[in-house]
Chain A
C-alpha cells in the first residue's frame, strides 16, 4: 500500500527541501507532495506535515484531513499555542531549525505507530494548568448534555479530537461539532480555554 505524505508550509523553499529529504532514502511505496494551499491537501493523505500558520488556517476551515499530523516548528512555541495545536489533532512536533533530521525521525515513528513524546508534553501542559488553578469555582454545567460533558472531560484528559472520536465511538466530524457546541455553551474560543474551564468545572 502506498503512503502519501503531504507538505503544507508557508515557506515554499522549506517545503521543497523537506520533500527532497523525505524522498531521499524513502521506501518505494512513499509518495511525497507539496500542497499549494489548504484546499489542495488530498483526503488520501496519510501524513500531513504543516507549519503552525498553515495548520491553523487548515483547521479553521473545514478541510482538515483525518490523518496523522506532524507540526513543523522553527522556534519555541508557548504552552497555550502548543496545547491548542495538540487538541486540534497534531500527533507530533518537529523542530526543523537544525535540518531535516528530527522531522525524518518523527515521520518514521508516526508511520510505524511508535509513541511520540508529544502526548507526554500535552499532559505536562495540562498538569501545569491544573497546578495554577487549584481553586475550584462553583459548579455550573452551562447546559451541557451528557455527551458534551463526556467529550469535555476527555479533552481535559489530554485526548486529541481524533482520540476522542475513537474512544466515544463517534465520527471525527461529529466530535468536532460537539466541541464547537461546547465552546459556544461555555463561552470559550479555543480548546485550551475549554480545557481550563473543564478543569475548573471539575468534571472528574
Chain B
C-alpha cells in the first residue's frame, strides 16, 4: 500500500516503511497483525503521511470493542490531525476520544494514563478552536489526575495545557502572577528533558506570559533564549519566536526593529508556507508603513493580513489599528466601523480597558447610524491605541 506517495522521503525512511508494510503483510495471527499495523501507522505519521496513518488507526478502531483501545486509536487520530494543523477535525476527534475513555472506569493506571494523554491533546485542539470552556474542563480533570502520573514528559504536557488555559482565560491580556510562577515551573521541568524543542517551547511560553503582561524586555530575554536553543533547526518554532519579537518591538514603538524581525519572519514563513505568521508579520509591516505615514502600503498590507487573520488568529487587532488609521486619513469612518465592531469580539485578544471603552463608544454611535462624531471618536481610539502600545 505504501509504494506510492513516499518518493519524496529519504531512502532510509522509505526503506523503513517498506519493511513495516512487508511485516504487516506477513503477519499471521490477529494479534501480530494489530501490532504491525500500529507500527506502520506510527511510521506513516512520523513521515508526514497523515491521511494514510489515520486510515490504519480507523481500521484498528473498528476491529476492536475495547473502550480503552478505541480511545487510544482516537487519540492517535487526533494527534494526526493536530500534526496536519487541521484543528477543527482534531477537536472533533478529541471529543470522541474523551467520550470513549470516559466509558471506562478510569481506575487502572493504564486507563488513567490514557485519559491524561487524551486530555492534554484535547486542550491543544480546543485551544486552537477557541473553545475556552472545554479547555477549562480538561484542565480541571488533568489537575485531578496529575498525582497519578509519574512520567516527566506527560507532566510537561500538563503544564503546557495549563499555560494554554491561562492564555485563554485571560484572553492574552494582563496574565496574573500565578501564570508567571506556573510558566517558570513549566520551564524548569522542561529543562530536565533532553529535547531542545520541548525546552524551547517552555521558554517561549515564559516569553508569552511576559509579553502579554506588557513586560516586553523580560519577554525578549526568553524569546532570544528559545532562538538560541533552536539554532536554525526548527523553522516552525523559530517563526513563532521571531514573530513575537516583532510584536514586542512594535509595542515599544521601535519601527526599525519591528521591521527587521517582521521581514525575517516573512522570509521563513514564505519558505514554509506558514500563512498565520506571514499574515501577522504583514500586519506588523502595515504598522511600520503607517508610522512612516505611507498610507497606501499601510492599507494594502493591513487589508491583506486582516483577510487571513480574521479567520485564523485572535491577534487580528494587529492589522486593524493601522487599517483604521489609513481609513481615517480618507474619512471613511463607516467602513472603519466594521473593524472597530469586530475588535469587541469576546473571543479575541482583550485590549486595555480605556481603549475598549473608546471602542464601545464609537461602536454604539456607528451601529445607531449616528455619523456626526464618528471621525472624532475614531481619532480618539487611534490616540488611545498609540498611548497604550496596542496601535
Contacts and interface: CB of A to CB of B under 8 A. Distances in A.
Contacts of A28: 88-89, 92
B363 interface: yes
A99 B337 contact: no
Interface string A4-22: 0000000101101100110
A25 B367 CA distance: 22
A99 B348 contact: no
A24 interface: yes
A128 interface: no
A98 B347 CA distance: 15
Contacts of A24: 130, 310-311, 342, 345, 347-348
Interface of A: 11, 13-14, 16-17, 20-21, 23-25, 27-28, 74-75, 96-101, 104-105
- Find the residue from B343, B360, B363 having the highest chain A CB count within 10 A: B363
20 contacts: A17-B337, A17-B338, A17-B339, A17-B341, A17-B342, A20-B338, A20-B342, A23-B311, A24-B345, A24-B347, A25-B345, A27-B88, A28-B88, A28-B92, A75-B368, A97-B363, A98-B364, A99-B343, A100-B346, A104-B346
A103 to B, nearest CB: 10
A99 B369 contact: no
Interface of B: 88-89, 92, 129-130, 310-311, 334-335, 337-339, 341-348, 359-360, 363-364, 367-369
B88 A100 contact: no
A104 B347 CA distance: 10
Contact of B341 (A23, A75, A99): A99
Contacts of A16: 338
B344 A101 contact: yes
A1 to B, nearest CB: 13
Contact of B368 (A25, A27, A74, A99): A74
A13 B342 contact: no
Contacts of B342: 17, 20-21, 24, 100
A97 B25 CA distance: 64
By secondary structure, the A interface counts as: loop
Given A13-B338, A20-B342, A96 B367 contact: yes
B335 A101 contact: no
Would you list the 6 A-B pairs with minimal beta carbon distance, nearest first?
A99-B344, A28-B88, A25-B130, A97-B364, A17-B338, A101-B346
Contacts of B369: 11
Contact of A98 (B338, B339, B360): B360
B345 A100 contact: yes
A98 B368 CA distance: 11
Contacts of A74: 364, 367-368
Given A20-B342, A24-B342, A24-B348, 8 more contacts: A24-B311, A24-B345, A25-B347, A97-B367, A98-B360, A98-B364, A101-B346, A104-B346
Nearest to B369: A11
B313 to A, nearest CB: 9
Contacts of A23: 311
A74 B92 CA distance: 36
Nearest to B339: A17
B353 to A, nearest CB: 14
A100 B311 contact: no
B345 A101 contact: yes
A74 B88 CA distance: 33
Contacts of A21: 341-342, 345
Contacts of A27: 88, 129
B367 to A, nearest CB: 5
A14 B367 contact: yes
B181 to A, nearest CB: 30
A164 B84 CA distance: 49
